[in-house]
Structure 1
């Protein structure tokens, strides 16, 4: 479990004097977001509302995540784009007693999280070859920023730690959900990642062949992916259950996103997350979503979302569940 660090004070968290350049962490003027930058120029920006990663740029300033131009960043609704956190329910679950009254995708993405602190490659007292910065965020059943719907409809004692780790060529997001009460609770977790692409019609997704999936566009029919490559040619909403053992480095169940002429873009690996959701609203659905802009923005995005949503994770009192994804840039 991630240890809490001392909460920093805005506006700037500087590097230790005498060491080579290290990552810097700053706050926005209104303290609504945390921005980390590596000395090599890569950046990540996390909105405290939902602990939502809303930007990830490489050293040249090229954005890797898609964020709707109409996304609400003021806490009035969940953010459309970036990496929202889905917890403790994926979608809605009207037949599940514990979560049937919760809003879609739960309350983690609509609560204000606390920034717990940073750690960098200087934290051990020496610089490493690869600069790194990790940002920790927390949300608990006692937190003042918790969405009121959570306490009203999900009366469990819990603690969430969410960590965002930026390296030169990758971004890792991990979550630990701990049951601080005596009664067990069920939960689902998903990292709802919107990847930015140049042209959805040229995107190829590999790593899902032979996996079963629920096709939510086709009446939630269960199917099997027979093609070695998935292309997006219309509205797509699939929940894949992979057969790979994601704890085995030799068979990590990675999903790779390439574009035109097999140009590699992203490699998504998972830790303790057995599902991958692939989503693109396409034209008609995008048109009907008020916070989706521009309306043809579906051409520049694809959601590849690691999660544990195919079944419920039962977490006993004093126990916890954790999962993570790493998105690696490919060249």
Structure 2
């Protein structure tokens, strides 16, 4: 647990084993950072269990984070990978979640750091990895106080962030620990960093039905590739879970996003007017350097009975 007294600032390597990841905590216990022996790193804010940085061995950042993002726990983080649960957007017609704030409460609650695991055998020298686990439950002290009042269900969330030399995996397990069934939605709201959105193409969504939340239309399709030239907010539902989404810049593949048990892919970019209206979006032309590709299960509801669990994950691979 991060808040225990006299905790070590660094989780050191075990003597006699090959070099492995080092996990450190910030002085104020607000974030956890892991670095592989090869130089790749990831940083997770305990507020929301939000991944706020993912860098390759050269130190190049792969995620976009607003310069005005609130990292003090006062609101959800604009950028990185916020965790959306138990509702995507708002659902005024859904009885269980109609009073919850946009995107639920997981991204505004303080999670507990549960520990790390690493690849520590000689065969892992060429492919080191580190996994960080975080937890949030209905009994947790860090739960957003309004959540207990507005969503009175017994639940447990385990969120895992796994870093390898060329990928980042984020996965969540949702468990119903109570007697009452509940409905939920899950989304991993990933902000990818790009150099220039005008040179970006997204492949892997051709002929896939989508809901266009800007135009308020449903069951739309388009051929590959998708380009971003205006405000974009779409929920795609690919027919196959194995279908990957590839993000390229100037024709060169940069990211490949794959999903595990997450049926939908949201593609979002606020463009000029939307970005201008968000106080925590800086710089205002930052939409040119970001693209949200967000695996989730949001076009319908997961219904969990007592003891049921739902598990979903994404893997972002550097191509």
Say yes or no: TM over 0.5.
yes
Q: Aligned equivalents of 1:322 and 1:267: distance in 2?
A: 21
Matched, 1:226 2:225: no
Answer whether contact 1:160 1:177 (CA < 8 A) is retained. Answer: yes
Cα RMSD between the aligned structures?
Answer: 1.3
Q: Aligned equivalents of 1:201 and 1:223: distance in 2?
A: 26
Matched, 1:296 2:285: yes
Q: Aligned equivalents of 2:221 and 2:7: distance in 1?
A: 49
Match of 1:39 in 2: 37
Answer whether contact 2:48 2:76 (CA < 8 A) is retained. Answer: yes
Matched, 1:212 2:187: no
Match of 1:283 in 2: 272
Matched, 1:191 2:188: yes
Q: Aligned equivalents of 2:56 and 2:10: distance in 1?
A: 21
What's the offset of the Cα at 1:153? 0.4
- SS of the residue corresponding to residue 308 of structure 1 reads strand
Q: Aligned equivalents of 1:223 and 1:281: distance in 2?
A: 22
Match of 1:265 in 2: 254
Q: Unaligned 5+ residue runs, structure 2?
A: none
Answer whether contact 1:19 1:127 (CA < 8 A) is retained. Answer: no
Match of 2:162 in 1: 165
What's the offset of the Cα at 1:176? 0.1
Of 13, 16, 19, the residue aligned with 1:18 is: 16
Match of 1:249 in 2: none
What's the offset of the Cα at 1:10? 3.2
Structure 2 length normalisation: TM-score?
A: 0.97
Of 137, 143, 149, the residue aligned with 2:140 is: 143
Match of 1:253 in 2: 243
What's the offset of the Cα at 1:126? 5.2
Matched, 1:180 2:177: yes
Match of 1:155 in 2: 152
What's the offset of the Cα at 1:148? 0.8
- Tell which deviates more after alignment, 309-318 or 221-230: 221-230
Answer whether contact 2:55 2:61 (CA < 8 A) is retained. Answer: yes
Runs of 4+ in 1 over 4 A off after TM superposition: none
Match of 2:48 in 1: 50
Q: Aligned equivalents of 2:122 and 2:162: distance in 1?
A: 18
Answer whether contact 1:272 1:322 (CA < 8 A) is retained. Answer: yes
What's the offset of the Cα at 1:313? 0.4
Answer whether contact 1:266 1:329 (CA < 8 A) is retained. Answer: yes
Q: Aligned equivalents of 1:62 and 1:186: distance in 2?
A: 39
Q: Aligned equivalents of 1:190 and 1:10: distance in 2?
A: 33
What's the offset of the Cα at 1:234? 0.4
- SS of the residue corresponding to residue 312 of structure 1 reads strand
Deviations 1:175-228 (A, max 9, x none): 000000011100000000000000000100000011111100002x10332211
Answer whether contact 2:212 2:220 (CA < 8 A) is retained. Answer: no
Between the two proteins, the alignment pairs up a number of residues equal to 315
Q: Unaligned 5+ residue runs, structure 1?
A: 247-251
